Structure 1
Amino acid sequence: MTTSTLRQVESLQPSQPSQDGDGVKIKRIHDFTGGLDPFLMLDELGSERPDDYIGGFPPHPHRGIQTLTYVIHGGLTHEDHLKHSSTINAGDAQWMHTGRGIIHSEMPLTDSQGLHAFQLWLNLAASEKMSPAQYRDVHGSEMPRLIGGGAELVALGGRWTRDDGQIIVGPLDALAGSGGVAHASVASGGELVLRTDAPTLLVYVFEGELVVGNTLIPAGHLARLTAGDRLALASASGGQALLLAGIPHREPVAHYGPFVMNSHAELEQALRDYQDGTLTG
């Protein structure tokens, strides 16, 4: 008989106030030492004050990563050197595979509740870092849902299985590290139980509070979970979180600004390529 193991919280990491782009105020969690592998960084943009974010992110380069941007309120308009131009609104996401290089901008939009969005950085495997750049939008209507037990799970990418065997698969099927990303909402007194043995499993609570195993996770904290094959999320007062799953690359990480490579020599090459105009060529 196979014994099921409920995953527990191994560590909690609080987000830290920061800013990026043209003075955009964010809450950030990052780890470029492999502690979140294959994830590198999570930024939360959230404010009812336009001055906190309206400057946006003017044109800037990337190499060696994927980004996934997900909007709760407001919107973002993306443009890049490949001539992609699109806007995502509440419930939508955009995925960008930077590969060998992309130059893009992201400019915020607002609604009656201001702007609330997330951007994830996922590390590309060494074999993919110099691959061609790609971009894709996904609308909220394309994302499947698991609903029941006072909880809802929205799958952006990856395969998610509820404890009763019901399975949904998110439309973003090319996330680095076989990544999975989902938005979980648990009402007061609700519970969501999932089957997942992903080597890396992270829970970022962004509203209210959630209980995972024996630990209460407050808003603004990222939980790294122990090994196991089941995840139980519960809440006495209600909460929302991003769930991040993946398989670690276990490769060296060299990071400088918008570039993430495997060695300092590769970082220096990326900087030279950007300076001489060949980053994207």
Structure 2
Amino acid sequence: MNPTPPDSIRHSHPTQDGAGVKIRRIHDFGGGLDPFLMLDELKTAPGDEDVGGFPDHPHRGFETFTYLVRGGVSHRDSMGNEGQVQAGGAQWMSAGRGVIHSETLHPDPEGLHGFQLWVNLPAARKMEPPRYRDVGTDAMRHLPEEDAPLDFKAVAGSWQTSAGDTEGPLGQIGEGAGMADLSLPAGYRLSLAVQLDERVLGYVFEGALTGLNTGELGVWHGHTMIHLIARQDSRVLLFKGRPLAEPIAHYGPFVMNSDAEIQQAISDYQSGRLAARPASID
């Protein structure tokens, strides 16, 4: 089995956001990662307690998905939700027509390591009521393969792999998109079965795959099978979803379909009309 080379590779770049939080970021608001928009990697050293956070800020028109490898994060929002997850857990928020929230980071003795993914919403759903949910590590579903130290952890969406099939506890993010955390020992080969119209992203945050190094995001589109081979013991975040193929208008924390909708979001936020009332979660 030969590895499936990515159709393109994106490189993460250092920046900072919020109250001085240092991150590595990959973003594309031109549709090149559609239905995904941005991936941030947050990582601090052991003993570094001054990591900042993300004070109250608005969102409209997309979903955020936060996943922790080490440390913890707590969430508060204008819907009245409060939640905290630790290493191995995830927080999901669909901003819909508008929400204001804050995130506080909690390093453990080994530091903090986490990710936040932005997932676009289709035009028909951008003005839905916002929703929030957190999922602890105990709810995650793993695929160990007999006699092999593989760990395929499904967080969201349905996955079909050469190690078995599984589905994450979040069901799906965005419009049927999925996310998984993959640990591969050196030399291991794993195959993913995907739909021809799905875009698949793989971000290596430890080790290296054939064709992908640490800090690189591989992008596949138009495949029905993707073969991954680990050159070293590796950790990879996997994302998959069908492109929305809709216009993307972006300004700061707002992602809509037109400049007029962006201006309306800014006006609604400035006038206090953006944050919606709480919505129930299925």
- The TM-score bracket by the shorter chain reads over 0.9
- Provide structure 2 residue ranges, at least 5 long, that are not aligned to the other structure: 277-282
Asked if the contact 2:48–2:111 (Cα under 8 Å) also holds between the matched residues in 1, the reply is: no
Q: Under a length normalisation based on structure 1, what TM-score does the superposition of the two structures give?
A: 0.93
- The answer for the alignment partner of 1:176 in structure 2 is 174
- The answer for the alignment partner of 1:238 in structure 2 is 233
Judge which range, 261-270 or 182-191, deviates more: 182-191
Whichever residue aligns with residue 219 of structure 1, its letter is T
Alpha-carbon separation, structure 1, partners of 2:51 and 2:75: 14
- The answer for the alignment partner of 1:114 in structure 2 is 111
Task: Say whether residues 1:101 and 2:98 are aligned partners.
Answer: yes
The 3 A distance-change label for structure 1 pair 109 and 146 is: same
Count residues with an aligned counterpart. 273
After TM superposition, give the deviation of residue 49 of structure 1 in Å: 5.8
- The answer for the alignment partner of 1:57 in structure 2 is 54
- The answer for the alignment partner of 2:84 in structure 1 is 87
Alpha-carbon separation, structure 1, partners of 2:243 and 2:14: 27
The 3 A distance-change label for structure 1 pair 200 and 53 is: farther
- Report the 3-state secondary structure (helix = DSSP H, G, I; strand = E; otherwise coil) of the residue aligned with 1:171: coil
Alpha-carbon separation, structure 1, partners of 2:49 and 2:266: 30
- Report the 3-state secondary structure (helix = DSSP H, G, I; strand = E; otherwise coil) of the residue aligned with 1:251: coil
Asked if the contact 1:5–1:228 (Cα under 8 Å) also holds between the matched residues in 2, the reply is: no
Task: Say whether residues 1:140 and 2:137 are aligned partners.
Answer: yes
- The answer for the alignment partner of 1:190 in structure 2 is 188
Question: % of aligned pairs identical?
Answer: 45
Asked if the contact 1:5–1:230 (Cα under 8 Å) also holds between the matched residues in 2, the reply is: no
- Provide structure 1 residue ranges, at least 5 long, that are not aligned to the other structure: none
Deviations 1:245-276 (A, max 9, x none): 00111000000000000000000000000000
* 1:253-272 map, 5 Å: 253-272=248-267
Alpha-carbon separation, structure 2, partners of 1:51 and 1:112: 9
Whichever residue aligns with residue 208 of structure 1, its letter is G
After TM superposition, give the deviation of residue 190 of structure 1 in Å: 1.8
Q: Under a length normalisation based on structure 2, what TM-score does the superposition of the two structures give?
A: 0.92
Alpha-carbon separation, structure 2, partners of 1:174 and 1:237: 30
Task: Say whether residues 1:159 and 2:158 are aligned partners.
Answer: yes
Task: Say whether residues 1:279 and 2:274 are aligned partners.
Answer: yes
Alpha-carbon separation, structure 2, partners of 1:163 and 1:180: 17
Deviations 1:41-90 (A, max 9, x none): 00000011666862200000000010000000000010011111111100
The 3 A distance-change label for structure 1 pair 254 and 49 is: farther
Alpha-carbon separation, structure 1, partners of 2:274 and 2:30: 25
- The answer for the alignment partner of 1:224 in structure 2 is 219
After TM superposition, give the deviation of residue 33 of structure 1 in Å: 0.4
Root-mean-square deviation (CA, aligned residues, Å) is 1.8
Asked if the contact 1:65–1:98 (Cα under 8 Å) also holds between the matched residues in 2, the reply is: yes
